[in-house]
C-alpha cells in the first residue's frame, strides 16, 4: 500500500493548498484520520484492500451533514470546472441505490446488470465513480447517465494521482478553468494536464476521464 499511501498524501496536500487559496467549502473535505480504524461499512458492500486502506486511514469531513439525514461526503474541487463528491463509508449502501439495488423501499431488488464487485464511491453531476473491488489494484471506472462504465484508471493509486495533477494545475490558473463566454474548459489548461495524464493513465483512459468531468 506504499504507492497508494504516497498518492493519498499528495492528493491531500494539493486539496488543502487549493482549498486554502480558492476553496468554496469549509470542513468539507477528505482528511487523514487521527487514529486508523475499521470503517463502518454495510456487510453487503465488498471492499478491496485499497478501499479498506482509504476508509481506515482517511475520513470524509462534512460539517453540514451533522445531525441530518444527509449523506456525509467530501467535496473535491477541480477549479471551477468540476466538483466530485466522495461518500463516507458508513453511507456506501445508500450510494449504491439506483445502481446495484433498485426500487423505492426495502427490500430493494438487486440489479441483474450490475456487477456486485462494482462499488460507487463518489459522483460528479450524479454520474457514478466506480471501483472494481474484485480486480487487482482497484481499477476506477466512470459512467455517464445511461451509459456503460468506462475505465479511467488502472488503479485507485493512479486515480488519486490524476486528481492531484488536475488540482495542482487548477491552482496555476487561479481556479478559473472555464471560459466565461463559452463555459468550456480553457484549452490551455487541458494542454497543460493532458500530456501528463496520458503518461500516467494512457490516452484512452484520459479521454474517458475528460468526458466524465465534462472537460470536453
Output the domain CATH number for residue 171.
3.40.1580
| Structure confidence at residue 42 (pLDDT) | 92
Give the CA-trace dihedral at 153, 183, 170, 121, to 10 degrees. -40
Residue 111: give the domain boundaries.
Answer: 2-212
- Per the structure, the count of domains in the chain is 1
Cis peptide, bond prior to residue 107, ω within 30 of zero: yes
Range name among 52-56, 80-84, 179-183 with the lowest pLDDT average: 179-183
| Structure confidence at residue 71 (pLDDT) | 86
The whole-angstrom separation of Cα 135 and Cα 10 is: 24
| Structure confidence at residue 17 (pLDDT) | 96
CB under 8 A, 24+ apart: contacts of 130-133: 131/48, 131/50, 131/51, 131/156, 132/48, 133/46, 133/47, 133/48, 133/51
C-alpha cell at 193: 494536464
> Is-contact 193 165, C-beta < 8 A?
yes
In this predicted structure, the answer to whether residue 208 has a pLDDT above a threshold of 90 is: yes
> Is-contact 84 130, C-beta < 8 A?
no
The whole-angstrom separation of Cα 57 and Cα 8 is: 10
| Structure confidence at residue 47 (pLDDT) | 97
Q: How confident is the model at residue 172 (pLDDT cuts 50, 70, 90)?
A: very high
The whole-angstrom separation of Cα 211 and Cα 35 is: 37
| Structure confidence at residue 146 (pLDDT) | 75
| Structure confidence at residue 198 (pLDDT) | 98
Amino acid at each position: 500500500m506504499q504507492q497508494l499511501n504516497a498518492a493519498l498524501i499528495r492528493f491531500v496536500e494539493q486539496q488543502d493548498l487549493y482549498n486554502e487559496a480558492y476553496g468554496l467549502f469549509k470542513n468539507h473535505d477528505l482528511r487523514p484520520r487521527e487514529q486508523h480504524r475499521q470503517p463502518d461499512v454495510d456487510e453487503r458492500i465488498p471492499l478491496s484492500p485499497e478501499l479498506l486502506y482509504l476508509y481506515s486511514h482517511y475520513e470524509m469531513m462534512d460539517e453540514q451533514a451533522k445531525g441530518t439525514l444527509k449523506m456525509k461526503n467530501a467535496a473535491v474541487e477541480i477549479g471551477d470546472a468540476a466538483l466530485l463528491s466522495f461518500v463516507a463509508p458508513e453511507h456506501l449502501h445508500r450510494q449504491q441505490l439506483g445502481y446495484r439495488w433498485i426500487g423505492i423501499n426495502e427490500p430493494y431488488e438487486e440489479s441483474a446488470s450490475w456487477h456486485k464487485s462494482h462499488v460507487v464511491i463518489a459522483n460528479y453531476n450524479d454520474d457514478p465513480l466506480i471501483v472494481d473491488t474484485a480486480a487487482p489494484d482497484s481499477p476506477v471506472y466512470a459512467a455517464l447517465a445511461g451509459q456503460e462504465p468506462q475505465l479511467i484508471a488502472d488503479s485507485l493509486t493512479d486515480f488519486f494521482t490524476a486528481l492531484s495533477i488536475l488540482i495542482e494545475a487548477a491552482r496555476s490558473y487561479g481556479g478559473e478553468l472555464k471560459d466565461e463566454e463559452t463555459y468550456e474548459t480553457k484549452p490551455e489548461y487541458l494542454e497543460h494536464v493532458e500530456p501528463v495524464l496520458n503518461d500516467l493513465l494512457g490516452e484512452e483512459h484520459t479521454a474517458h476521464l475528460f468526458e466524465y468531468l465534462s472537460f470536453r
